[in-house]
Amino acid sequence: MGTKERHERDRHRIRQGILDAARELFIAEGYQQVSMRKIADRIEYSPAAIYSYFPRKDDIFFALAAEGFRILADGVSAVVAGVEDPLERLRRGLWAFYQFSKSNPEYFALMFLDRSVPSLSQDFERFEFFQTITARATADVQACMDRGQFSRKLDPAAALHVLWAGVLGAATIGLAQRLAPGEDADALAHDVLESLLAGFTTNLGTTFVAADCALMSEPVAVRERQNHA
Taking the complex as a whole, the smallest distance from the CB of residue 45 to DNA amounts, in Å, to 4
From the list DNA, a copy of itself, none, pick the one residue 208 interacts with, judged by a Cβ distance below 5 to 8 Å according to partner type. Answer: a copy of itself
The 49-78 site mask, x for binding DNA (CB under 7 A), equals x-xx--xxxx--------------------
Taking the complex as a whole, the smallest distance from the CB of residue 49 to DNA amounts, in Å, to 4
Q: Which positions from 13 through 52 interact with DNA, judged by CB under 7 A?
A: 14, 34-38, 45-49, 51-52
Q: What are the start-end ranges of the H helices in the chain?
A: 3-29, 36-43, 47-50, 57-80, 86-103, 105-108, 125-129, 135-146, 156-176, 185-201, 213-216
Q: Which is nearer to a copy of itself, 46 or 202 (CB)?
A: 202
| 77 Cβ neighbours under 8 A, 6+ residues apart | 132, 133
* 26 class by beta-carbon count within 10 Å (0-12 exposed, 13-18 middle, 19+ buried): buried
Taking the complex as a whole, the smallest distance from the CB of residue 36 to DNA amounts, in Å, to 4
From the list DNA, a copy of itself, none, pick the one residue 172 interacts with, judged by a Cβ distance below 5 to 8 Å according to partner type. Answer: a copy of itself
Q: Is 83 an interacting residue with respect to a copy of itself (CB under 8 A)?
A: no
Q: Which positions from 106 through 135 interact with a copy of itself, judged by CB under 8 A?
A: 109, 112-116, 120-121, 126, 130
Q: Which positions from 191 through 210 interact with a copy of itself, judged by CB under 8 A?
A: 191-192, 194-202, 204, 206, 208-210
From the list DNA, a copy of itself, none, pick the one residue 149 interacts with, judged by a Cβ distance below 5 to 8 Å according to partner type. Answer: none
Residue-wise burial string across 151-170, b where 16 or more C-beta atoms lie within 10 A, e elsewhere: beebbbeebbebbbebbbeb
Give the residue from 134, 128, 114 showing the smallest Cα distance to 70.
128
Q: Is 219 an interacting residue with respect to a copy of itself (CB under 8 A)?
A: yes
From the list a copy of itself, DNA, none, pick the one residue 158 interacts with, judged by a Cβ distance below 5 to 8 Å according to partner type. Answer: a copy of itself
Angle, helices 57-80/86-103, rounded to nearest 10 degrees: 140
Query: Please, what is the Cα angle at 179 between 170 and 200, to 5 degrees?
Result: 30
- Cβ–Cβ under 8 Å, residues 130 and 157: no
Please give the residue ranges that form the binding site for DNA (CB under 7 A): 1, 3-4, 6-7, 11, 14, 34-38, 45-49, 51-52, 55-58
